[in-house]
């Protein structure tokens, strides 16, 4: 192996020398010419610049021994400004500085060096290692380039016969290095060497050669045996070294991923898994403020009070009040629970720590309790602070239900959470907020006072709240309409919508306007967006057969006419036979925000829902599957009236709650009662069917006119219905002003209590007055 390396190096040297000679036309001394080579001179200049004692690059001041980096300005603490570009050229451009945080991407993150934290140090040692490896290989190649291989015959005739050999060195019993007498180096190629088969044959051949040359034994050439490290030996060890290095790298890498040295804090193979994944939120990264949260003023005031307590605790302590340990945000999905938490993180000038409930549950046993302990330890260090646990139902479910042996990981995590929350005292100033829309499945021990003292219910907004939410979302949309009037009109058209639904409507309106290449959003786009959210996507390509289209037209006409002439039915806004979503047609009504429904109102709604099926029976003497959804709604309403609302004389004033399980297996009543309930439900639906049949028979011609106009125009508005049927014979409300009449004001009350006027500002403590030395008694006047 050694002679192959030497042969290759020698050939490369001759090639370089010959090319250099042809270019210059004269013999070349490679060593002197290499020093005068411009490329080599630039490399030496760079190396000298790197080796000089000068101020270290930015971020490497800690490596400078005995000197302070006075030339390098200190890094500003304001993270909102982009850091200046690091123009230091210590790494010769080999490693890109990815730690610059000049701009943040959509996720708000920033780059980091290759080595992660402390990556500059790692890159520096990587560079030194690479330079050292190259230097070592270069030194080996340079040393072996000075060797010249000769044969045995050339050695005997050219050197031994001429008495030029001083001694012979047998290296590793494989090859012989020829040492010539001083001053007798006739070849500038370097040291001479030749291979031997074995030491015995070499000694025998050398002795015979010297005897044939007539050399006396006393003057025989001395032979020295040596053992030296060769490049071939290193090559043989290379596979073993690579395997060992790979194993060490993988072990260190896995240890870093699992939290070992160089990874997350905690150490050990599983140290990182056991640590909490809670994140400390920087308020500068959160763009949501309390002014962006509308429609839930009561819940917002409750949250503001927590922040005010942390900022100005003396205001409450003077009265003997204690800060609540925690608050549970509950309510339907989309009402703004997490948005309130985001606004709190953006507004509060105290640390805000957030974590998801699902992050406590992992495949390893004991991870959940360990993460809970680590999270609360972090919160205590950051106190005063706010700790927010989103979707706490993932870890706070009721215990003892389906756990085998009572030792499930979820139960252990919940137990640790209960202990940590109850372990707080009033001086820690750590507030725990949590959010869930499934408060019914939470453990009672978690909701008791001392842990979550307050339960803040965030309901769906009323009409005033919806108007406030529309104002927030309309502020960023391009429209020439009066946004105040538009928000009121849209609030009246969207009963039952949550904040998430309203945000979706505004975004859909902008998308529809962009799809139609409009410069601004008009009222038509908002109406189409509401239809898109309520009924689904319009299917213009869904072509119906003439018979099916006629059936759908009469079905929807039956709904419209029945609702028009029923007093307690909701006002009709629009009816269409254009397929949307899963339905072949739909009728849009305008229900009012009503929290109490009478038996008559529920019955009229059942009749209106059965209008489509009755119209099919009257006009076609047959029924279709198009009334499936209507029949389901009617059946659910009838069962709710009898089983839950106590609106049946025979069953009585009872409420059977079947929402906790499958009613087929967990009926909270006897079979006799179940049979009675079924009979009464059928009787109620039959009575509604008879009433609807009588109503549509009376207005048979009106149904025909509405169906004929639907077949012609496909969409009928409220004005078209008034033209066909005349004004509705009952008083109804349709505008925002009519809906809010008698409620005290047209806008949502957003005023703050007196103690929260400056809720996010620290108040100066008033100096206490000095007490009179006479126990506070007034001094006598002379």
Residues of the domain holding 469: 463-534
pLDDT of residue 526: 92
**633 against 729, higher pLDDT:** 633
Can you tell me whether residue 231 is helix, strand or coil? helix
Please check whether residue 774 lies inside any domain of the structure: no
Q: What is the CATH number of the domain that holds 488?
A: 1.10.8.60
**CA 197 from centroid of its chain's CA atoms:** 70
Last residue of a domain, one of 228, 247, 267: 228
Residue reference for tokens 């009323």: 462
How far apart, in whole angstroms, are the C-alpha atoms of residue 491 and residue 377?
Answer: 46
How far apart, in whole angstroms, are the C-alpha atoms of residue 353 and residue 507?
Answer: 30
Task: Say if residue 314 is in the same domain as residue 407.
Answer: yes
Residue reference for tokens 């070499």: 202
pLDDT of residue 513: 92
Task: Say if residue 478 is in the same domain as residue 601.
Answer: no
How far apart, in whole angstroms, are the C-alpha atoms of residue 729 and residue 727?
Answer: 6
pLDDT of residue 729: 83
Task: Say if residue 397 is in the same domain as residue 335.
Answer: yes
**Residue 81 above 50 pLDDT?**
no
Task: Say if residue 303 is in the same domain as residue 356.
Answer: yes
pLDDT band at 87 (very low <50, low <70, confident <90, very high): very low
Q: What is the CATH number of the domain that holds 215?
A: 3.40.1690.20
Task: Say if residue 353 is in the same domain as residue 205.
Answer: no
| Two structure tokens written together for 585 | 């047609």
Could you read off the pLDDT of 170-202 as tens digits, one per residue? 888 888 888 888 876 655 556 788 888 888 888
Q: Residue-wise over 510-548: b if at least 16 C-beta within 10 A, else e?
A: bebbeeeeeeebbeebbbbbbbbebbeeeeeeeebeeee
Minimum mean pLDDT among 79-83, 459-463, 516-520, 684-688: which range? 79-83
**Residue 700 above 80 pLDDT?**
yes
Residue reference for tokens 């009617």: 634
Q: How many domains does the chain have?
A: 4
pLDDT band at 763 (very low <50, low <70, confident <90, very high): low
Task: Say if residue 663 is in the same domain as residue 591.
Answer: yes
| Two structure tokens written together for 332 | 């339907």
Task: Say if residue 452 is in the same domain as residue 323.
Answer: yes
Rounded mean pLDDT of 690-719?
90
Please check whether residue 30 lies inside any domain of the structure: no
Q: What is the CATH number of the domain that holds 606?
A: 1.20.58.760
326 bridge partner residues:
432
Task: Say if residue 467 is in the same domain as residue 445.
Answer: no
Evaluate whether 507 touches 521 at the Cβ level (below 8 Å). Answer: no
Rounded mean pLDDT of 52-63?
52
Evaluate whether 571 touches 588 at the Cβ level (below 8 Å). Answer: no
Task: Say if residue 583 is in the same domain as residue 727.
Answer: yes
Range list of H helices, 449-594: 463-474, 483-493, 499-515, 523-535, 546-564
Last residue of a domain, one of 481, 508, 534: 534
Is 714 in the active site? no
How far apart, in whole angstroms, are the C-alpha atoms of residue 561 and residue 716?
Answer: 12
**Residue 768 above 70 pLDDT?**
no
pLDDT of residue 696: 93
pLDDT band at 263 (very low <50, low <70, confident <90, very high): very low
Task: Say if residue 405 is in the same domain as residue 498.
Answer: no
Please check whether residue 739 lies inside any domain of the structure: no
Among the ranges 10-24, 304-318, 381-395, 505-519, which has the highest mean pLDDT value? 505-519
pLDDT of residue 742: 65
Rg (CA), the chain: 44
Task: Say if residue 586 is in the same domain as residue 709.
Answer: yes
pLDDT of residue 364: 65
Please check whether residue 260 lies inside any domain of the structure: no
Strands 572-576 and 715-717, sheet pairing: antiparallel
pLDDT of residue 397: 84
- Going edge to edge, which strands form the sheet with 586-589? 586-589, 572-576, 715-717
**20 against 505, higher pLDDT:** 505
pLDDT of residue 46: 66
Minimum mean pLDDT among 265-274, 439-448, 658-667: which range? 265-274
Could you read off the pLDDT of 275-320 as tens digits, one per residue? 667 777 776 777 888 888 888 888 888 888 888 887 778 888 888 8
Q: What is the CATH number of the domain that holds 428?
A: 3.40.50.300
What integer best gives the mean pLDDT of the chain? Answer: 76
Please check whether residue 69 lies inside any domain of the structure: no
Catalytic residue among 411, 556, 616, 748: 556
449 bridge partner residues:
none
pLDDT of residue 665: 57
pTM to 2 decimals? 0.62
Task: Say if residue 559 is in the same domain as residue 705.
Answer: yes
Could you read off the pLDDT of 562-607 as tens digits, one per residue? 988 998 888 888 888 888 877 788 788 878 777 888 999 999 999 9
Please check whether residue 2 lies inside any domain of the structure: no
Range 724-731 contact pairs with CB under 8 angstroms and sequence separation of 24 or more? 725/561, 725/564, 728/564, 728/571, 729/565, 730/567
**316 against 14, higher pLDDT:** 316
pLDDT band at 615 (very low <50, low <70, confident <90, very high): very high
Could you read off the pLDDT of 93-126 as tens digits, one per residue? 444 444 444 444 444 443 444 344 445 576 777 7
User: Cα–Cα distances in Å, from 406 out to 55, 311, 412, 743?
Assistant: 63, 42, 9, 53
Nearest Cα to 308, choosing from 458, 431, 460, 164?
Answer: 431
Rounded mean pLDDT of 730-752?
73
**Residue 472 above 60 pLDDT?**
yes
pLDDT of residue 401: 56
Nearest Cα to 163, choosing from 191, 143, 184?
Answer: 184
Please check whether residue 80 lies inside any domain of the structure: no
Please check whether residue 127 lies inside any domain of the structure: no
User: Cα–Cα distances in Å, from 747 out to 153, 465, 508, 687, 757?
Assistant: 113, 8, 25, 43, 20
pLDDT band at 501 (very low <50, low <70, confident <90, very high): very high
| Two structure tokens written together for 643 | 């089983």
How far apart, in whole angstroms, are the C-alpha atoms of residue 414 and residue 185?
Answer: 87
**Residue 534 above 80 pLDDT?**
yes
pLDDT band at 80 (very low <50, low <70, confident <90, very high): very low
**Residue 781 above 70 pLDDT?**
no
Last residue of a domain, one of 481, 505, 534: 534
Rounded mean pLDDT of 125-148?
74
Rounded mean pLDDT of 205-214?
85
């Amino acid at each position: 192996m050694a002679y192959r390396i030497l042969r290759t190096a020698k050939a490369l040297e001759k090639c370089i020398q010959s090319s250099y000679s042809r270019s210059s036309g004269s013999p070349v001394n490679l060593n002197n010419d290499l020093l005068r080579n411009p490329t080599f001179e630039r490399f030496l200049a760079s190396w000298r610049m790197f080796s000089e004692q000068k101020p270290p690059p930015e971020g490497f001041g800690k490596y400078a021994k005995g000197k302070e980096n006075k030339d390098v300005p200190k890094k500003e603490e304001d993270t909102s400004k982009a850091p200046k570009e690091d123009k230091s050229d210590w790494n010769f451009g080999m490693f890109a500085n990815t730690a610059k945080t000049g701009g943040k991407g959509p996720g708000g993150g920033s780059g980091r060096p290759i080595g992660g934290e402390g990556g500059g140090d790692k890159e520096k040692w990587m560079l030194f290692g690479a330079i050292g490896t190259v230097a070592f290989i270069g030194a080996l190649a340079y040393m072996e380039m000075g060797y010249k291989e000769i044969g045995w015959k050339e050695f005997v005739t050219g050197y031994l016969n001429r008495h030029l050999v001083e001694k012979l060195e047998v290296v590793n019993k494989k090859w012989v290095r020829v040492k010539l007498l001083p001053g007798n180096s006739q070849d500038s190629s370097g040291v001479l060497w030749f291979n031997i088969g074995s030491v015995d044959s070499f000694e025998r051949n050398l002795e015979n050669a010297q005897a044939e040359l007539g050399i006396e034994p006393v003057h025989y050439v001395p032979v020295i045996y040596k053992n030296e490290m060769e490049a071939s030996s290193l090559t043989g060890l290379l596979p073993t070294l690579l395997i060992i290095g790979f194993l060490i790298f993988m072990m260190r890498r896995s240890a870093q991923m699992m939290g070992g040295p160089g990874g997350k804090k905690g150490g050990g193979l599983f140290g990182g898994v056991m640590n909490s994944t809670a994140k400390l939120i920087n308020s500068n990264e959160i763009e949501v403020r309390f002014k962006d949260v509308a429609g839930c003023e009561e819940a917002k005031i409750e949250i503001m009070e927590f922040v005010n307590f942390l900022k100005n605790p003396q205001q409450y302590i003077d009265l003997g009040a204690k800060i609540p340990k925690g608050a549970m945000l509950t309510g339907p999905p989309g009402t703004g629970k997490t948005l309130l938490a985001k606004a709190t993180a953006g507004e509060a000038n105290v640390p805000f720590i957030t974590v998801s409930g699902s992050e406590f549950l992992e495949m390893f046993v004991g991870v959940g309790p360990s993460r809970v302990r680590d999270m609360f330890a972090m919160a205590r260090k950051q106190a005063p602070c706010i700790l927010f646990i989103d979707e706490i139902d993932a870890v706070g479910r009721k215990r003892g239900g389906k756990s085998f042996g009572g030792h499930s990981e979820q139960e252990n995590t919940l137990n640790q959470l209960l202990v940590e929350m109850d372990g707080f005292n009033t001086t820690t100033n750590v507030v725990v907020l949590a959010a869930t829309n499934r408060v019914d499945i939470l453990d009672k021990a978690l909701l008791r006072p001392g842990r979550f003292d307050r339960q803040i219910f965030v309901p769906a907004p009323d009409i005033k709240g919806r108007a406030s939410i529309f104002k927030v979302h309309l502020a960023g949309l391009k429209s020439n309409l009066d946004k105040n009037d538009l928000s009121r009109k849209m609030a009246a058209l969207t009963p039952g919508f949550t904040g998430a639904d309203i945000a979706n409507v505004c975004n859909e309106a902008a998308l529809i306007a962009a799809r139609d290449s409009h410069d601004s959003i008009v009222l038509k786009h908002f109406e189409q967006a509401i239809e898109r959210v309520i009924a689904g996507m319009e299917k213009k390509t869904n072509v119906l057969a003439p018979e099916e289209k006629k059936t759908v037209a009469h079905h929807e006409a039956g709904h419209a006419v029945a609702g028009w002439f029923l007093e307690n039915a909701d006002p009709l806004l629009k009816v269409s036979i254009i397929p949307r979503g899963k339905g072949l047609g739909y009728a849009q009504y305008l229900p009012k925000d009503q929290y109490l429904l009478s038996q008559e109102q529920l019955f009229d709604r059942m009749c209106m829902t059965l209008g489509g099926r009755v119209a099919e029976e009257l006009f076609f003497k047959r029924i279709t599957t198009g009334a499936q959804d209507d029949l389901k709604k009617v059946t659910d309403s009838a069962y709710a009236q009898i089983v839950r609302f106590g609106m049946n004389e025979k069953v009585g004033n009872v409420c059977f709650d079947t929402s906790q399980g499958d009613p087929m297996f967990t009926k909270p009543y006897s079979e006799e009662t179940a049979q009675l309930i079924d009979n009464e439900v059928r009787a109620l639906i039959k009575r509604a069917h008879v009433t609807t049949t009588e109503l549509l028979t009376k207005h048979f011609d009106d149904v025909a006119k509405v169906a004929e106009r639907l077949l012609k125009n496909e969409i009928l508005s409220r004005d078209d219905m008034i033209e066909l049927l005349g004004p509705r014979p009952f008083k109804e409300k349709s505008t925002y002003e009519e809906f809010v009449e008698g409620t005290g004001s047209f806008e949502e009350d957003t005023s703050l209590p007196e103690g929260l006027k400056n809720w996010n500002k620290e108040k100066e403590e008033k100096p206490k007055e000095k007490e009179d030395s006479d126990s506070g008694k007034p001094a006598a006047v002379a």
